[in-house]
Amino acid sequence: MASNNIYKIYEDSDFTAADSPITFDISGDLTTLADNGETQYGNSVNIQNNGNYDLQVEVSMDGSTFGDPQTLRSREVDNIVSGGVKSIKLTHLGDDTEYTVKAFSKSVGDVNLTPGSVNIRDIDDNTEPQDLLFAESLSQFTTAADTTASTTTTLEYDFTATTGHGIIVGDEILLIAADRSLRAYVTNVATDVITLDTPIDFVFPSGSIGLVINTNMAVDGSTTPRIFKVQAGATPILLRRIIMTITDQTSMDDAKFGGIPALSNGVIFRIVDSFQKSIFNFKTNGDFRQWGYDLDYADKAPAGFFGASSRITFGGKEKHGTILKLSGADELQIVVQDDLTDLDTFRISAQGNKFS
């Protein structure tokens, strides 16, 4: 007698768009305990989304007609008991994930949906948090030797640049390797030995590219637009929100941009990749409220500067319902098209994490 097949597992640790949709013929794969050849249903079906992104589930009780689709979110588990399931269809929803489907020809539990959870992963080269200031490049240099990485007990602040680097005290620089970067300010220059205000946590190889950058977007872009950007390294990054801050010596309100009059051309926020899109154009402080809702003003206390801050979140179904993914040569850009030099500071950062 043939062996009984009362339990069947379907799984994929890398469910991609090329694999989608996929349909599992549960009634064709299962037999009864008696193994008498009769057509069998999945009396118990366990569907697990083991990955970091949503997938879509459809269930068929007759093997051909599927019911309403259900979104199974990251880490969710759906248990169907005494359901008489003949087929299950899974569909990719834009980001690669992983799944396990277990089908039984015998009821083994109760009907329930276990809520998913926030993606929790150890910080490493593949999951490193990303807090990136939009920057424009002013000049370029290279490292003359491997940098020394800090340890748990020793902090390293110095690196050696190639002669002719042009770096001066007060410069903001960006060291770049294949998949790591470091933004810091220069506190001392001793010929070619450069001292930073932030510890060096990675061995940047000799010949690594460095940039002298500017992250203060209070510049004049009225004649030639000024482009500030963030990019990924070798590992893609997922960006979930941007945060804007402005300081000025003039009071602010929703009709101004910072403390200056409303802009004529505006500040553009855009993504440049295979899908190129100008997402926002900010001409007033109120535009930050319009597109992100979160906008706060800070008065002088009592001396100092007036301030404004805003946050625009992309991730989350109650927000944009999507995130911004950068890889390779992809860029997020802020384009300054007006004269903003009457502001004291204007910076925008992007936050997220690497993902592989």
Residue 297 and residue 252 in contact, taking contact as beta carbons nearer than 8 Å? yes
CA angle 259, 262, 268 (to 5 degrees): 105
Model confidence pTM above 0.75: no
Per domain, the residue ranges of the chain are 7-114, 136-214, 216-356
- Alpha carbon separation from 265 to 222, 311, 339 (Å, rounded): 8, 22, 10
CATH class of 7-114: mainly beta
User: What is the block-wise mean pLDDT of the chain (356 residues), using blocks of 10 residues?
Assistant: 63 88 82 52 75 86 84 82 77 87 62 47 62 94 95 95 96 90 96 96 94 97 96 84 93 94 95 84 93 87 88 75 81 95 96 80
Residue 135 and residue 349 in contact, taking contact as beta carbons nearer than 8 Å? no
Q: For domain 136-214, is the CATH number 2.40.30?
A: yes
Q: Which residues pair with 141 in a beta bridge?
A: 210
